[in-house]
Amino acid sequence: MRALRLDDDTGSSPVEFVLVGALLTVLTLAVMQLGLAVYVRNVVHDAAVDGAYHAALADTAPAEGAERARTVIARTVGEGYVESAAARESTQAGHPVVEVTVRATLPLAGLWGLPGMLEVTAHAPLESLAASG
């Protein structure tokens, strides 16, 4: 029988490989998930801005801007990802604007996440057909 030596590291390489490999895998997946969350946030923001500018056109209704934002997100991220999209007219600094607010799912594991936790609001100056001057 072989005597047990405390300074013998025979067989430690596979254990170290598994531990370091697991840690690097978790770290890589966390960075990828963060990138996905930032990407989804940017898509939702850009869709809200696009919807606000579309709704601000003189010949469109605010509801069309909300629907446009919903459509852009559905085409980019997926159907049913938007919890709500709403548009309304308001004023900012004394000027009329259209405000589009989109609530979507915040992805935590892949595209699964917390519904309605990501809220983005965009504004666009309201156009009119009235002559100025």
Any domain includes 9? no
Do the domain assignments include residue 80?
Answer: yes
Count: domains in the chain: 1
25 in a domain, yes or no? yes
pLDDT score, position 3: 65
Question: Which pLDDT score is estimated for 42?
Answer: 95
Does a structural domain hold residue 95? Answer: yes
**Does residue 4 lie in a domain region?**
no
Give the Cα separation of 78 and 62 in Å (integer): 23
pLDDT digit string, tens, across residues 92-123? 888 899 999 999 988 888 878 888 889 999 99
Average pLDDT, integer, range 36-46: 93
Structure confidence by residue, pLDDT tens digits, 76-93:
988 878 899 999 999 888
Q: Give a yes or no: residue 132 inside a domain.
A: no
Residue pair 125/96 in contact by the 8 Å Cβ criterion: yes
Q: Is the residue at 42 inside a domain? A: yes
Structural domain of residue 56, as residue ranges? 14-125
